[in-house]
Amino acid sequence: MLNFGGFLSSNFWTNYRCTSSASIEDLLNNKDCTVDKLLDDDDCLQEFKNYNDKLIKYFDHDNLKTLIDYITVMPHKDDGHNRGRKYPFITGEIFNCEINQILDKFFEAPVRVKEAKTEDKADEDKDDEDEEKEGAERRESDKAAGEGEDGEAEKEEKPKGEESAKDGDSKAKDENAEEQQEEDDEAKAKAAGAKNLEDADKEDADADQEAKKEAASGEGDAQDKADK
């Protein structure tokens, strides 16, 4: 039996390393690297077979989910040719490489769950801070508006008070004038009454004098008749 010293065994291919593809390295070093761009590269599948550590580590749970969607989810009519006829087959070949680092992720919990919770908590704290800030700004604006309304109310009340004071003074003057007029009328009435009494007494005195004159003349006439 021929023995090739393990050349065809899996251990050889596991331990074998060759120079990495320059295009794959450039994609992995680029911030805009995506699963689609890696699958579009002709050296992608060969790099998986060469156990490129950087490429294998790139495929975390989220990127593995993308690969699984390529072979489990039917493409839409609007999807391109690569989505329906290239990506699913390359994905199948990648899983057929039976790379333990990738297969083990199917039985591991995503590490980003805690990170997501931390981010959610940070977002909640930020939202709370924003709400407190908005509440403080709202209270300050309400306070400023209240002070402005109070100032306007004081300005309005001040003219009203002045007007009421002026009205009170004019009313008091009118009342004093009316009282003075009444007193003058009463004085005039009393003076007129006194004059009328004087006139009546004078008329009575004149009537008495005339009566006395008539009586005296009547006595004289009677005396003359008696003498005759």
| Lowest-confidence pick of 80-94, 120-134, 140-154 | 140-154
Per-residue pLDDT for 205 more than 90? no
Same domain, 99 and 115: no
92 and 148 in a single domain? The answer is no
The residue with greater pLDDT, 26 or 4, is 26
pLDDT of 168 over the 80 cut: no
Same domain membership, residue 117 and residue 99:
no
What are 82-114's pLDDT values in tens digits?
A: 988 899 999 999 999 999 999 999 888 876 555
Domains: count for the chain? 2
Among the residue ranges 14-23, 180-189, 190-199, the one predicted with the least confidence is: 14-23
* pLDDT average, residue stretch 118-140: 77
- Mean pLDDT computed over 154-163: 59
Same domain, residue pair 92 and 116: no
The whole domain housing 177 covers 111-219
Of 85, 109, 133, the residue that ends a domain is 109
Q: What are phi and psi of 196, to 5 degrees?
A: -65, -40
**136 found inside a domain:** yes
pLDDT of residue 1: 43
Distance CA 227, CA 189 (A): 57
* Per-residue model confidence (pLDDT) at position 6: 47
- Assigned domain for 56 exists: yes
Same domain, 99 and 131: no
Is the same domain home to 87 and 179? no
Domain boundary among 109, 124, 153: 109
Q: What is the pLDDT of residue 206?
A: 78
The answer to the question of residue 64 being in a domain is: yes
Indicate if 17 and 98 belong to the same structural domain.
Answer: yes
If asked whether residues 116 and 210 sit together in one domain, one would say yes
Asked if pLDDT for residue 14 goes beyond 80, the answer is no
Mean pLDDT of the chain: 78
Q: Does 5 fall in a domain? A: no
Whole-number CA gyration radius for the chain: 63
pLDDT of residue 197: 75
| pLDDT tier at 17, thresholds 50, 70, 90 | low
Q: Would you state the pLDDT for residue 11?
A: 54
Is there a single domain that holds both residue 16 and residue 81? yes
**Using CA atoms, how far apart are residues 87 and 34, in angstroms rounded to an integer?**
13
Mean pLDDT of 138-167: 67
- Between 54 and 117, the higher pLDDT residue: 54
Would you say residue 2 lies in a domain?
no
Does one domain contain both 65 and 88? yes
pLDDT for residue 166: 66
| Chosen domain end from 88, 109, 130 | 109
**Overall pTM > 0.85:** no
Same structural domain, 42 and 15: yes
100 in any annotated domain? yes
Nearest to 92 by CA among 72, 62, 107, 110: 72
* Residue 4 covered by a domain: no
pLDDT digits (tens, 9 = 90+) for 58-80: 999 999 999 999 999 999 888 88
Tokens (6 digits) for 168? 């009170």
- Tens of pLDDT, residues 175-193: 777 888 888 888 877 777 7
Measured between alpha carbons, how far is residue 195 from residues 19, 59, 205 in Å? 147, 132, 15
Answer yes or no: is 144 within a domain. Answer: yes
> Do residues 153 and 211 share a domain?
yes
Q: How far apart are CA 97 and CA 187, in angstroms?
A: 133
